[in-house]
Amino acid sequence: MREMNRSQHFIRKYFSGISLSTVIHIAAIIIFFWLVFSPVIGLIAEAIRTSLSGSSDLISPFNLSGRRIGLLFSSISLATLVATAGILVGTLVATFLWRKFRSFAPVILLLLLALAGIPPYIHALTWLDVFAAIHAYFPLFPVSGWLPSAWVDLMALLPIAIFLCWVAFASVDVRLIEAARVFRPDMTVFYRIILPLAAPALGAAFGFLFLICCTDYSVPSLFGADIYALDIFARFSATGSATQAFLYAVPLLLVTIIVIFLSRSGIRTLAQTPNWLSDRWGNPPVFPWYYRLLQGIAAGIVILQILVLFSGLILSTSTLGTFFGSVFRSSDELVYTLLIAASVILVSLPLAIAVAGEMKKPGIRGSFAWCIALAPLAIPAPLIGIGMITFWNNPSLAAVYPGILMPVFAAVARFAPFAAIILYVQMRFIDPAFFEAAEIFSRSPWKKWSRVRLPLLAPGLLVSAGILATLSLAELGATLIVAPPGHTTMTIRIYNYIHYGASGEVAGLCLAITLLTLAAGICAIAALQWLYRRSGNMVFYCGSDGE
């Protein structure tokens, strides 16, 4: 009897205040953690198992051969070069937009952002033709190797670089800029006030570009440039051993984790920048001629990139018949790809809402949520694929392995953190009083969600859905490993075709993927504009959330 009282007391003390929505919230975080980290958990467990059985050596990651050091150095150099160039060009174009297109800047920026989702291998395809044409006139011009690879990586990342630089500059309090403009020329203000204050966010933008470049092998592989991420995939293909591939990847993982760690406060700054779409410059800045010249060159590079992309694809596809023929012949892959994208959205969004809510929390809970949102960005795509196989290729989980689930889970593991960060941004600008009022005036959790939370979160959800769709359509590194026999995505099909040389078929499929990506991007943009149009009277709240 006394025992029963004690257990009743325990339940009343610790569980009486727990509502159904809290249980769902906690379950969503656990599922997010489980899905996003299952590849890493699988790989670590496998490494320990094989080590205990004596078939692998856990010290091996630290025995760096000359070749591995060379590959690591090449990967870091390539990523540093691309990220540095991206920040330089991004800075010049962002400040060009300040000066020239102040009221149109947000629209131009958002259109550029729609281009950001186009897979890098499509850029590679279009630039291959340009390089070949230049090589025909100037034989010394390289058509393969590091330089073409770095250039194409830069071109692929340019829209996101410009966007991140713009947001980084928007993170600087405009009052601090104006206070300096009263006393000093705009160029001095730029160097001494804007750049130092934007430095953490620019650093995060650099880190973000570095991570994408360092962990993606699709472009370097097409230009014959060997990088560490590609070698992880090659090692797994050669040995079939997940543990060897994982241990081989550890040095690269250490580099990417360090970059994430150094960028974390800047990423928060970028995510917390309010109303970066608004034009806050009363009087446009005046830059000296040499800076205007550099801005013009940077803007010219962006225009060139857009021209090469679309003219290359349209000219290679040549006719509408070729375009529709290639799409029709790949209709199975197209349907499979669209199903994956839709499933990724459906699985990721509810989980991302829960994690975004945690990211807003002060103290250790918020920090932990930020960790689980940012850490996956450090994992190279092939390693996620290898880890997925290791974790899910288990007799008790046999139902998961075939069909659509593995590519969906791989994409969720890679991209759900992005959705969490976007929803965090959205939640941060919603006045908490809206939710508190809903708690007071409604008892039904369903009513609170359907009538208050979902409508307020809708713009963020739509933006996240657009970005998840865009990224899922382009996913290659992990899907290439986990795609079950008999199923191929559009991206894998195109990637395989590109290796046999560009043709009308490939260009037609690339054009289809580009149009799909742009459609998803434009939907996201429309949602974003909706968000900002509503912001004046409804969703904007720039108060503290306890951080």
Partner 1 sequence: MYGTHWTVQDISFVIPDRARIAILGPSGSGKTTILRLIAGLEVPDRGTITFDGRIVSDSCVVAPPYERSLGFVFQSSALWPHMTVLQNILFPVDNLSDKTILLQIQGMMERMGIAHLKDRYPDQISGGEARRVALARALAPEPNTLLFDEPLTNIDHSLREGLLGLISETLRTSKSRMVYVTHDEHEARTLADTIIHLENGRIVGTETQEIHR
The site for partner 1 (CB under 8 A) is made up of 173, 175-176, 178-186, 192-193, 196-197, 282-283, 286
Cα first-last separation, the chain: 47
CB of 197 to partner 1, least distance (A): 6
Distance in Å, CB of 183 to partner 1, minimum? 3
Q: What is the 3-state secondary structure (H, E, C) of 32-94?
A: HHHHHHHHHHHHHHHHHHHHHCCCCCCCHHHCCCHHHHHHHHHHHHHHHHHHHHHHHHHHHHH
Structure tokens at 322: 């070729």
Alpha helices in 429-501 (DSSP H): 432-441, 445-447, 454-474, 479-482, 490-499
Q: How far is the CB of 8 from partner 1 (least distance, A)?
A: 51
Q: What's the min distance (Å) between Cβ of 192 and partner 1? A: 7
Residue whose CB is less far from partner 1, 176 or 297: 176
| Residue 204 or 372 with smaller CB distance to partner 1 | 204
Single-letter amino acid, residue 121: Y
Closer to partner 1 by CB, 291 or 392: give it: 291
Kindly state the helix (H) or strand (E) to which residue 315 belongs, with its residue range.
helix 289-317
* Residue 162: count of CB within 10 angstroms of its CB: 30
Nearest of 425, 114, 102 to residue 275 by alpha carbon = 425
CA dist 457 and 274 (Å) reads 16
Rounded to a whole number of angstroms, the minimum distance from the CB of residue 48 to partner 1 is: 46
As measured in angstroms, the least distance from the Cβ of 184 to partner 1 is: 5
Nearest to partner 1 of 193, 205 (CB atom): 193
Q: From the CB of 178, what's the least distance to partner 1, in Å?
A: 5
**Strands annotated E in 341-496:** none
As a three-state string, the secondary structure of 139-166 is: CCCCCCCHHHHHHHHHHHHHHHHHHHHH
CB of 290 to partner 1, least distance (A): 18
Select 185 or 362, whichever has its Cβ closest to partner 1. 185
Residue closer to partner 1 by CB (options 286, 433) is 286
Query: Of 206, 472, 244, 444, whose CA–CA distance to 343 is shortest?
Result: 472
Question: Which of 188/496 has CB closer to partner 1?
Answer: 188
195 or 301: whose CB is closer to partner 1? 195
